Amino acid sequence: MPAVDLRGKSILVVGASGALGSLITDRLESQGALLTLTSTKPVEPRAGAMHLTGDIRDSAERFVHIASDRNGALDGVIISSGVVAFGPASELSPETLERLFAVNATGPMRIIASAQPALAASATAQRQPFIVTLSGVVAEAPTAGLAAYSASKSALAAFGQAAGRELRRVGIRLLDARPGHTETGLASRAIEGTPPAFPPGLSPAFVADRIMQGILDGEKDLPSAAFNG
């Protein structure tokens, strides 16, 4: 596959204000992409980008439609939003379980389904469309104390693996990234429970660079081993 040229490409970044989302946005911006950025709270605007405020739980389709309409096309979607919860599975509250799956699994699934028509049109125009999901290492190795979080991310990875085969038939590439624990600060913002003492994690800049390399090189999968070097 030829290297992906992002100049003038219309890219939607969901969760663009997070540690990884903002770094990936920096890299997309440097490549000349036309950006539509979402966050759950208002943020300092970036010149040339459209900013949307909303929650993936109730705004998934709206994000896609606005990004597509704004530039008359949609060539890429990066889903970097997510929440985490800690604690024994037996102590998990129903509200936390529902939120974990809505943000980490069903919200991204809705984004992907909603984006397919516009991305298929991009493929027809030979604009090399792609989707990036971040399921993380817990999709490969579900972790005690993170049972529901692991399950929500595993659901996203399984959906992407199956949907990716369907999307390839119409020229859309789905890239799932599964880095190990990364120092994004997400653990300190857990929606329930107290995080364990994790060993030092990966640098967010390193993870963002590796994901960006995967986008530009046309890769279709970034397992945890891809983040070892």
Asked, for residue 5, whether it belongs to a domain, the answer is no
pLDDT, one tens digit per residue, over 188-197 is: 999 999 999 8
Structural domain total, the chain: 1
Q: What percent of the chain has pLDDT over 70?
A: 99
Longest Cα pair distance anywhere in the chain, in angstroms?
Answer: 50
Asked, for residue 182, whether it belongs to a domain, the answer is yes
Return d(Cα 16, Cα 20) in angstroms, integer: 8
Residue 189 CB: number of other CB atoms within 10 A? 11
Averaged pLDDT for residues 26-39: 97
Query: pLDDT value at position 2?
Result: 64
pLDDT, one tens digit per residue, over 67-126 is: 999 889 999 999 999 999 999 999 999 999 999 999 999 999 999 999 999 999 999 999
Q: Collapse the DSSP code of 51 into the 3-class scheme (helix H, G, I; strand E, B; otherwise coil) and give the result.
A: strand
Range of the domain at 217: 10-227
pLDDT, one tens digit per residue, over 163-187 is: 999 999 999 999 999 999 999 999 9
CATH number of the CATH domain containing 57 = 3.40.50.720
